[in-house]
Amino acid sequence: MTMQHKRNGISGDPFVIRAYAQFKQDKAINERRIKISEIAMAGKRITDENPKLAAWFLVQVTGGRESTVDKLLGDEHVEGLVLREEEQILVRRGRKWTVPGRPWLPGFVLVRCVPSAAAFRGLLGVAHVTGVVGGWEKPYRVPNESINQFNAMMQMKIDERERLRLEQEAKNAGIKVRDKVRIRLGPLAGFVATVLSIGKGQVKRCKVRYKCNGREGDANVPLANLEAI
């Protein structure tokens, strides 16, 4: 298909629309192939084949997009990691939500790969990735010790929380059904409630009935979060 412009009796050279469209399509397909090939160079298959060459690197991402980037990397079989604080458990109107911990280092995602120009070009092509710490030509290698120390610190916090929970459960071992208790932690902290039932799981939870503004409500509360009155 050709088209020729003609205005005021002056005609120009014809140009081929179909050929130009095909060129644009072929270019886009080729660029996509290159992108797929490059991100594959940062993939887990390469790290598994060359474990001694693999290392952790920090990529910068758009704020608030850490989880999105982590998922996109996973979809491309790239090993990513978002260091997070402890998850939070929210209780509202008797319903419980587990909220993932906030990123410990907002705006960054760790990536383990074998460093190469192609691998980092591939990473920079992932949506919401804005850069590589140190630059993709000489990227900063994150010491394994740094990651291990962070994980150890978080595990210590979890262990300490578990120790305190067990201690408080032991103190509350005498609480029985129909006892009056005070809720110690959470959105209902300070409320006086009546114990309706006590569970038998590893983390003992109690169904309690509280009153607020003359209205009664039920809540499922860990035994460790109660105190006898």
User: According to the model, what pLDDT value does residue 75 have?
Assistant: 95
Give the model's confidence band at 55: pLDDT under 50 very low, under 70 low, under 90 confident, else very high. Answer: very high
User: According to the model, what pLDDT value does residue 30 have?
Assistant: 42
CATH topology of domain 173-228: SH3 type barrels. (2.30.30)
Top-ranked range on mean pLDDT: pick from 25-39, 41-55, 209-223: 41-55
| Arch. (CATH architecture) of 12-145 | 2-Layer Sandwich (3.30)
- Extents of the domains making up the chain: 12-145, 173-228
DSSP codes, the chain: -EE--EETTEE---EEHHHHHHHHHHHHHHHHHHHHHHHHTTSHHHHHH-TTT-EEEEEEE-TT-HHHHHHHHHHTT-EEE--B---EEEEETTEEEEEPPPBSSTTEEEEEE---HHHHHHHHTSTTEEEETT-SSSPPEEPHHHHHHHHHHHHHHHHHHHHHHHHHHHHTTT--TT-EEEE-SSTTTT-EEEEEEE--SSS-EEEEEEEETTEEEEEEEEGGGEEE-
Mean pLDDT, the chain, integer: 81
User: According to the model, what pLDDT value does residue 36 have?
Assistant: 59
The more confidently predicted of residues 209 and 214 is 209
User: According to the model, what pLDDT value does residue 206 have?
Assistant: 92
pLDDT of 221 above 60: yes
When pLDDT is averaged across residues 49-66 and rounded to a whole number, the result is: 93
Determine the residue type at 97.
W
* Equal fold, 12-145 vs 173-228: no
Give the model's confidence band at 31: pLDDT under 50 very low, under 70 low, under 90 confident, else very high. Answer: very low
User: According to the model, what pLDDT value does residue 91 have?
Assistant: 67
The more confidently predicted of residues 19 and 64 is 64
Q: What is the pLDDT of residues 66-97, one digit of tens each?
A: 999 999 999 999 999 998 877 666 666 667 66
